[in-house]
Amino acid sequence: MTTPPPASTPVPEGTGLRLLPGARLGSRAPDGSRTLTGYGADRVLRLVPRAAGIVAGLPALLEDPVGRRLARTLLDAGVAEPWWPDAAPADDAEEAGDAGAGAGAGVTVVVPVHDRPDELARLLAALPGGPGGVPVVVVDDASADPGPVAAVAAAHGARLLRHPVNRGPAAARNTGLAAVTTPLVAFVDSDVVPEPGWLGTLRRHLDDPLVAVAAPRVLALEGLPSADRLARWVGAYETDRSSLDLGPRAAQVRPRAPVSYVPSACWLARVEALGDGFAEELRSGEDVDLVWRLVAAGWRVRYEPAARVRHDHRAGPAAWLRRKAFYGGSAADLARRHGDAVAPVVLTPWAAVTAVALLAQRRWSVPVAAAAWGTATVVLARRLPGERPAADAAVLASRGVGAVLTQTAASLTRHHWPLAVLAATRSRRARRALLVAALGEGLWDHHRVGATQSPAAYVVAHRLDDLAYGAGVWVGAVRARSPRALLPVLLRRRTGG
């Protein structure tokens, strides 16, 4: 893995910026400075008057050095996203026409596959073709019947590499990566179907020399009805809330951020940044591990929901639950490699007091929680500029309360549900807390994702999803003989800019 350019490197010329939804400029201080916070931001930025004026004018192109350096700061803080006034370049040269080479220039697609010839054919047909089409390397990870896979690769002009024994998707991607001679590589799984424009939209992010990976939004593949009623129920839930779908907000990816990883079902990556690639000993969580290693090395990883691909989520309920548990099983390995970056609960001291008070369900619970909120508001207000520091601080503290409720409910119903169930067998208060968390968080999540499934069907599926994932986390922790993936983290919130 190579060393990235300095962290202070400005964004490239021709790149603009816009604030993410939820970003908020605080009131103006007498010296003209203002605060800026945003959805998921882990700090409060204090902007000098010139920077505040630039931010107030977004979205806009930032051509001067000061604006481009400010853009880097705001991107790294998680309050803004890159913005371009023009449409993304076409995926291939044929579509680009007089505009020149398509986005596929300088890109090689690597496809790991194990059997699935029909899905492979569907994917290869959807990749940019013609004179500007991307070269493709298919890595057959010891398919039981390699003939059909080889025939599909040949029919689409793809280079075929084969493992004699199954080594897993991480090893298959690394084998393909070693054969790439272009500066960029797109990893695309065989059960993915890219939508038009995906490559051009992602490619613009790689113009930034600090960006190592850009990843699209992964949605369910449509038009695949099932005769099985339970499979339709699972399919409807996965369409609303797949583990691969990270939502509609663009983000800079890093541990503990609202988007903390991107699934390797589809990546566009800078070859020089990847080094030896994925950790082959990991059968699950290898994408999270590589993202976090890249971020730790100083590279940036971008999630771009304007680029979209479709993923084939078809699976029966039993296979679906096994897959969720499989995902959860990676937490122990990730905790061993990355420490408390995988912590299921991360709270500031005042947030921890609020959570404990509410879980206690005593007469003093609400007053103590209110006092914690008030204390946090006062502390924040002392650090904020502006004409209304108390009001700005109250908004930030209220957002924190929402995060406390969400994390507490997730702890009870997902990562720590075995302990919550055990407590519920012995305590009426614990039963009440678990019931409120299970229903309240489920209904809130139904609203948050804009689910089309009925609330009842969604909440049941959501709870099974969490139970299976949490069971996987516990099994992984037992196998690793380490509880680290289950331990909460207490930290102090930073403010600054």
Residue range 354-398, pLDDT digits in tens:
999 989 999 999 999 999 999 988 988 887 766 677 877 888 788
Tens-place pLDDT, residues 52-86: 899 999 999 988 888 999 999 999 988 999 999 88
Please tell me whether residues 434 and 471 are part of one structural domain.
Answer: yes
Is the pLDDT at 42 greater than 80? The verdict is: no
Residue 342: per-residue pLDDT: 93
Tens-place pLDDT, residues 268-322: 999 999 999 999 999 899 999 999 999 999 999 999 999 999 998 766 889 899 9
Please tell me whether residues 292 and 357 are part of one structural domain.
Answer: no
Residue 326 lies in a domain: no
- What's the CATH code of the domain at 113? 3.90.550.10
Mean pLDDT of 191-211: 94
Q: Residue with structure tokens 């209304």?
A: 388
Please tell me whether residues 172 and 267 are part of one structural domain.
Answer: yes
Residue 397: per-residue pLDDT: 84
Query: Cα separation of 178 and 403, whole Å?
Result: 43
Please tell me whether residues 476 and 414 are part of one structural domain.
Answer: yes
Residue 132: per-residue pLDDT: 54
Please tell me whether residues 99 and 58 are part of one structural domain.
Answer: no
Residue 366 lies in a domain: yes
Query: Cα separation of 466 and 77, whole Å?
Result: 30
Q: Report the number of secondary-structure helices (H) and strands (E) in the chain.
A: 18, 17
Task: Give the CA distances from residue 206 to residues 64, 190, 213, 363, in Å, rounded to whole numbers and listed in that order.
Answer: 20, 23, 7, 55
The mean predicted confidence, pLDDT, of the chain is: 89
Please tell me whether residues 73 and 118 are part of one structural domain.
Answer: no
Q: Place 226 in a pLDDT band, splitting at 50, 70 and 90.
A: low
Q: Which two tokens stand for residue 480?
A: 């690793």
- CA 162 to chain centroid, in Å, comes to 31
Comparing C-alpha atoms, which of 170, 458, 469 is closest to residue 320? 469
Residue 314: per-residue pLDDT: 67
Tens-place pLDDT, residues 403-427: 889 999 999 999 999 999 999 999 9
Q: Which two tokens stand for residue 434?
A: 């678990």
Residue 348: per-residue pLDDT: 86
Residue 292 lies in a domain: yes
Please tell me whether residues 377 and 450 are part of one structural domain.
Answer: yes
Please tell me whether residues 68 and 106 are part of one structural domain.
Answer: no
Is the pLDDT at 243 greater than 60? The verdict is: yes
Residue 10 lies in a domain: no
Residue 59: cis peptide before it, omega within 30 degrees of 0: yes
Q: Pick the last residue of a domain from 30, 50, 83.
A: 83
Which range, of 37-41, 255-259, 450-454, averages the lowest pLDDT?
A: 37-41
In 29-142, which ranges are E strands?
Answer: 34-37, 45-47, 60-61, 80-83, 107-113, 136-141
Please tell me whether residues 113 and 50 are part of one structural domain.
Answer: no
Query: Cα separation of 385 and 52, whole Å?
Result: 12
User: Contact 249/262 with Cβ under 8 angstroms?
Assistant: no
**pTM reported for the whole predicted model:** 0.90
Residue 105: per-residue pLDDT: 80
Residue 56 lies in a domain: yes
Residue 98: per-residue pLDDT: 45
What 3-state DSSP class applies to 314?
A: coil
Please tell me whether residues 68 and 132 are part of one structural domain.
Answer: no
Q: Pick the last residue of a domain from 83, 103, 133.
A: 83
Is the pLDDT at 473 greater than 50? The verdict is: yes
Is the pLDDT at 229 greater than 90? The verdict is: no
Q: Pick the last residue of a domain from 34, 50, 83.
A: 83
What 3-state DSSP class applies to 366?
A: helix
Residue 496: per-residue pLDDT: 43
Residue 330 lies in a domain: no
Mean pLDDT of 127-143: 84
Query: Cα separation of 168 and 51, whole Å?
Result: 48
Please tell me whether residues 185 and 279 are part of one structural domain.
Answer: yes
Mean pLDDT of 95-105: 58
Residue 325 lies in a domain: no
Residue 494: per-residue pLDDT: 47
Query: Cα separation of 247 and 215, whole Å?
Result: 12
Please tell me whether residues 205 and 232 are part of one structural domain.
Answer: yes
Residue 133: per-residue pLDDT: 74
Give the total number of structural domains in the chain. Answer: 3
**Which domain does 74 fall in, by range?**
16-83
Residue 45 lies in a domain: yes
User: Contact 17/58 with Cβ under 8 angstroms?
Assistant: yes
